[in-house]
Chain A
């Protein structure tokens, strides 16, 4: 039986905007099923890295492989789910229609029990047939969580997931992240919450686009690295 390929391999990945270097050449490998936190100050390069891995930003240099596939391959897109910090939703589709459509785009059956259970856990059961364009920031974020999880994936990229969430929502998201990790998916979560590092296998700290720490970190270490 052959070993599973790493969930993510980034080699000398870099991003520049004219004279501004957003990400210094960065090489990391995320084994399949690993949970990882990306920590750092604002502007340290966390979101830039995640968006490059998601395929939303063009890398200025370097290579990305996802589950052994080139980033541009259809298989890589089928494998990666991205939960952004700015939910992007259609104005004219309800939550149910969003979930149905995105599930089908990924070869799923559309609206199913799992989608319904996600909505219930996130407190959206009363809003399933409402238009998310009329939702508050927090409800839109919860909708984005449903859409990120309603489809199959083996690599979950999450950017600042707790922004706009109320405390129950935050707790549910933490549970969901633990569940997808337990089911074998690799998770990469960019966050400012220092306590989150205790829940993951590995943490990477970035400063000014450079990796300054890579390993299992404690809250104190995080506070020391990126400040309180």
Chain B
């Protein structure tokens, strides 16, 4: 089949399917999505505007931006390239439909023709989005930095487009050339490390710093930066050229998982996202554990199960935990030296590591049918999983602390450093436990029917709370730093310990939530049902019907007794005269609100019958 024929067949199908898709669009839903997207965009821009402020940056600040801005922007490009390479090595960046892989890519149609269409569409969207974001950032920056507004907007957009072009081009190339995952990670990691080294002034000029000059062009034009744009174009063109080399195995695995992952993201189901991401990167537990299991029957089976899971951690997960510990440690050092916002990065890094450690707990949550067969309440099983989670997370925290207290340069003192490592590890474990336990939100509950503004706030709280708890674990570090910088009374370690007391209260609360989560949810569901007006009407109706039923039974019983008495009267009138009268059948009082008083005469019966 010629390329022209391939192209015609693929285009024909695309047209037919697009026509059908457009016909099936629910326009009210589409407009609602546009409304939500617009609302979120406005909120983000307003928040960013508030964060950036309107005050002009001092000359010293401008000099600082000129000196470090390109390297910082270059680091962003390096990170985009890193993620692009990794995505490409796993069959990305395209997420094709599974039938396309099976029917189109296995047919004699030219694969380049079949894949370039989706690739261009994806790139077009990413370029438009990145240009819009870049232009918006340029518009915000112009309030504080000197220069022409139009220039900032144009070069902001150009930087966004270049960043996406380089990242996407690398992804396409890695995919088309079937670059191994570890090779992609290594190359990307070296490039990021180079950019970081350049930013802190320890390594020579990174190539991405040259590209980063586009972002600060209005302050300091550098024509060499245009090479970055050209490089992006070249990478995209080469990527499109070799896109046909894609591995169908990786593409098919990706098609199956990416769709599910997107769906899980829309449901804010972090647990599912994590599981799917592991499947996507083929991160499977080791078939041979690092440590062999003891043959004797375990005394504490839940703990034993947690240890066995830990013993099967794949190498990549161990590397990730070490990397997260290192990042947390470096951030702790930076926080100690005055860069307070990095507590967020440190907390997030430890939380990510703790999510890996929460895998045994996650497995229990994933299979409620299994836990229901155990002779223990689910909450009790969940709580029994916490000690192993805490131990592993504290180990990661201590590794981070080791990096923070390492006697190189300006380090955190040993005492507060180790204490912070332990507390941060415990709180990160708490955050991870909540992430895993809370699962996906119920598709139908009371709050799902409220306005998007309220539901959105709830979603933000659900999403932000677990990492926020992990970040709280770094508060002792801030207290110790304040003590060190202040009067030193109390000294740093006791100051850190003082802050830890309320944090321990948080730990107890989290433990309680894990133990009684099912009961809390049941109670909330019942309370919500009680509050529902339609449910109240239904309940009243059921109560009324029950009362009527009881009344009918009592009436039948009294008739029967009267009949028996009538029959017996004629048979043994003399003897019966000596007998005690039978007690009246007891009639239970009707519930309030159904009938008036206790009279046997029905009130409102005719109305009820209507």
Contacts and interface: CB of A to CB of B under 8 A. Distances in A.
Interface of A: 17-20, 54-58, 74-75, 77-78, 80, 82, 84, 88-90, 92-93, 97, 101-102, 104-107, 147, 151
Contacts of A77: 106-108
B9 interface: yes
Interface stretch (B97-105, B385-393, B477-485, B569-577): B97-105
Interface string B54-86: 000000000000000000000000000000000
Given A19-B288, A56-B252, A106 B108 contact: yes
| CB-CB nearest 5 A-B residue pairs | A78-B108, A105-B107, A88-B102, A90-B99, A74-B108
A58 to B, nearest CB: 5
A55 to B, nearest CB: 6
B107 A106 contact: yes
Interface in B106-127: 106-110
Contacts of B101: 56, 88
* Of listed B16, B101, B282, residue having the most chain A CB within 10 A: B16
Contacts of A58: 178, 247-250
B21 interface: yes
Contacts of A74: 1, 108, 110
B9 A105 contact: yes
B445 interface: no
Given A54-B106, A92-B21, A102-B107, A18 B284 contact: yes
A102 B252 contact: no
B541 interface: no
Contacts of B21: 92
A102 B288 CA distance: 44
Given A19-B286, A74-B108, 16 more contacts: A18-B282, A56-B101, A58-B248, A75-B108, A77-B107, A77-B108, A78-B1, A82-B102, A84-B102, A97-B16, A104-B12, A105-B107, A106-B1, A106-B107, A106-B108, A151-B107
Given A18-B284, A84-B102, A107 B108 contact: yes
Interface in B230-262: 247-250, 252
14 contacts: A19-B286, A19-B288, A20-B287, A55-B106, A58-B178, A74-B1, A74-B110, A88-B98, A88-B103, A101-B13, A104-B9, A105-B103, A106-B1, A107-B1
A97 B16 CA distance: 10
* Of listed A18, A58, A75, A104, residue having the most chain B CB within 10 A: A104
A185 B106 CA distance: 18
B5 A107 contact: yes
Nearest to B108: A78
B582 interface: no
Nearest to B20: A92
A186 to B, nearest CB: 17
Nearest to B287: A19
B109 A105 contact: yes
B17 interface: yes
Nearest to A72: B245
Contacts of A17: 282, 284
A77 B286 CA distance: 36
A93 B17 contact: yes
Contacts of B247: 58
A27 to B, nearest CB: 21
Contacts of B178: 58
A106 B101 CA distance: 15
Contact of B249 (A57, A75, A102): A57
Interface of B: 1, 5, 9, 12-13, 16-17, 20-21, 97-99, 101-104, 106-110, 178, 247-250, 252, 282, 284, 286-288
Nearest to A80: B106
A103 to B, nearest CB: 10
Contacts, number: 74
A203 B97 CA distance: 35
Nearest to B8: A104
B402 to A, nearest CB: 30
Is chain B's binding surface mostly helix, strand, loop or mixed? helix
Nearest to B245: A72
A95 to B, nearest CB: 13
B309 to A, nearest CB: 18
Contacts of A19: 286-288
* Of listed A75, A93, A105, residue having the most chain B CB within 10 A: A105
A142 to B, nearest CB: 17
Contacts of B17: 90, 92-93
Nearest to B1: A107
A203 B469 CA distance: 61
A165 B313 CA distance: 41
Contacts of B250: 58
A135 B270 CA distance: 32
Nearest to A106: B107
A89 B98 CA distance: 8
Contacts of A90: 17, 97, 99
Contacts of B99: 88-90
A41 B482 CA distance: 67
Nearest to A59: B249
A56 B107 contact: no
Contacts of A57: 248-249
B110 A55 contact: no
Given A107-B1, A107-B5, A56 B106 contact: yes
A143 B608 CA distance: 57
A92 B98 CA distance: 13
A101 B103 contact: yes
Contacts of A104: 9, 12
A102 to B, nearest CB: 6
A201 B228 CA distance: 62
B526 to A, nearest CB: 38
A25 to B, nearest CB: 19
Contacts of B104: 105
Nearest to A15: B249
Given A74-B1, A75-B108, A107-B1, A102 B284 contact: no
Contacts of A151: 107
Nearest to B13: A101
Given A74-B110, A101-B13, A102-B107, A56 B1 contact: no
A97 B249 CA distance: 26
Nearest to B24: A92
A193 to B, nearest CB: 24
Contacts of B282: 17-18
Nearest to A51: B249
Contacts of B249: 56-58
B103 A102 contact: yes
Given A19-B288, A20-B287, A90-B99, A56 B248 contact: yes
Contacts of A89: 99
Contacts of A75: 108
A88 B97 CA distance: 10
A19 to B, nearest CB: 6
* Of listed B107, B109, B247, B252, residue having the most chain A CB within 10 A: B107
Contacts of B108: 74-75, 77-78, 105-107
A215 to B, nearest CB: 30
A56 B249 CA distance: 5
Nearest to B110: A74
Contacts of A93: 17
A56 to B, nearest CB: 5
Contact of B106 (A18, A82, A92, A101): A82
Contacts of B5: 107
A35 B248 CA distance: 27
